[in-house]
Amino acid sequence: MSCSYGQLDLCGFPKPHAFWYRANWLALRKSLGDGPPSAPDGIARLIDLLDQIETSTVNSTHESATINAVAFGATATLIIDGNDAGKQTIAVGEYPETVAPMVWEVVKPTGIKVLNATLLVSNSDGAEVARHELLGFGVSGAELTMELSLDVPSVTTGTGSALLLDGEDTAMVRATVKDLATGAMVSGQDVNITFEIASGPGRMAGVGNGNPIDHTLPKGQRVQTWGGLARAFVQVSVDATRDNRKLTKAMDVDGNARTTVVTGDCAAAGLDQVPITLRAVMVAASGGEVTQELQIPVSCSPEEDGWEAAAVASTKFSYIDDFEG
């Protein structure tokens, strides 16, 4: 079961609600005069550009688009295809709905098939404090690339720094489609990505993209990006840390076919010295192919990298602030 009002989707990607909650929380703390020192000076987030930049909308006969955004600061300016689409003052209302979503009505110029958008947020002095940029579908002359990043385990999500070799711990890898020349995320370009384990003590546990109407097999290895994003779930395939491993191995009917049970000392065997290497192959609609690899660290120590240790050590959660999507 899932719902529409949560802050994270089924892949762990922040929904628009997450940034709305964040902006309102910061506005409230600022009004009380007790905001945390680490809080950002501004928030800029285009929250529903997906509907406007996909071919079904922008490349059709529609002559305008409604662009919504969440912003925290003094003013917000929307740039569409390099042109100023207007500046708005960020209104601060009464708690609990302190910061309301912002809306721009954008007219699509004749012959323009793509909407590329940049949201700029400035403080009261006019200095830029936040920016969010998205490129649309079919950017002219764009060469696509892919960036792999580790959302779990990660200090930004409070999930530690390594996977525990307990036969179950699972990593969450994010694949982001970007414009090679600018490094900007290409939100409207859906491509196919295939994930595989290149080496190390891991196995593919599934894929996803956050699209609630996508029927891709979750336990597969191939998925189409949605909004320029895709997710791979990677699980450790070695149990070298749990209690009663000798009993587990004696009862193992598949003979290590899925999980290798190691009864000896994990660290002494050097099992934590070999990371899991995940390989991703992206195939764009144009036929171009991009291959990237990412290494996922593993650990033999429940005391340092178990879920309880990760929870106790977590003093910072910056995933939403740092998220690109």
DSSP string, 117-153: EEEEEE-TTS-EEEEEEEE-TT-TT--EEEEEEEEES
Residues 270 and 307 in one domain: yes
- Give the pLDDT of the chain (325 residues) as one tens digit per residue: 567 777 888 899 998 888 888 888 888 777 777 666 667 788 888 876 544 444 334 444 556 677 888 888 899 999 987 889 899 998 877 765 678 888 888 776 555 555 678 999 999 899 999 999 887 755 555 688 899 999 999 988 989 999 999 999 999 999 999 888 888 888 766 789 999 999 999 999 999 998 888 888 889 999 999 888 999 999 999 999 988 888 888 887 777 778 898 998 999 999 999 999 999 999 876 667 899 999 999 999 999 999 888 888 877 778 887 888 7
Residues 114 and 23 in one domain: yes
Residues 279 and 167 in one domain: yes
Residues 158 and 230 in one domain: yes
Instruction: Flag whether 245 is in a domain.
Output: yes
Q: Confirm if 226 and 248 have CB atoms less than 8 A apart.
A: no
Residues 175 and 82 in one domain: no
By DSSP bridging, strand 229-236 and strand 202-208 are: antiparallel
Query: Within 10 A of 36 (CB to CB), how many other CB atoms are there?
Result: 7
Instruction: Flag whether 229 is in a domain.
Output: yes
Last residue of a domain, one of 115, 135, 155: 135
Instruction: Flag whether 252 is in a domain.
Output: yes
- The reported pLDDT for the residue numbered 38 is 65
Tally of domains within the chain:
2
Instruction: Flag whether 4 is in a domain.
Output: no
Q: Confirm if 121 and 72 have CB atoms less than 8 A apart.
A: yes
- The reported pLDDT for the residue numbered 138 is 52
Residue 126 is part of a domain; what is its CATH number? Answer: 2.60.40
Residues 179 and 97 in one domain: no
Residues 173 and 199 in one domain: yes
Last residue of a domain, one of 117, 135, 153: 135
Instruction: Flag whether 11 is in a domain.
Output: no
Last residue of a domain, one of 135, 156, 172: 135
Residues 175 and 151 in one domain: yes
- The reported pLDDT for the residue numbered 292 is 96
Residues 219 and 264 in one domain: yes
Residues 198 and 122 in one domain: no
Instruction: Flag whether 7 is in a domain.
Output: no
- The reported pLDDT for the residue numbered 190 is 74
- The pTM assigned to this predicted structure is 0.87
Residues 86 and 30 in one domain: yes
Sequence letter at residue 145: T
Residues 119 and 48 in one domain: yes
Place of tokens 């910056």: 318
Residue 312 is part of a domain; what is its CATH number? Answer: 2.60.40.10
Domain containing 221: what range? 144-322
CA distances from 254 to 266, 273, 295 (A): 22, 26, 28
- The reported pLDDT for the residue numbered 25 is 83
Instruction: Flag whether 6 is in a domain.
Output: no
Instruction: Flag whether 164 is in a domain.
Output: yes
CA distances from 290 to 92, 177, 284 (A): 45, 10, 8
- Mind giving me the DSSP string for 161-180? SSEETBTT-EEEEEEEEEET
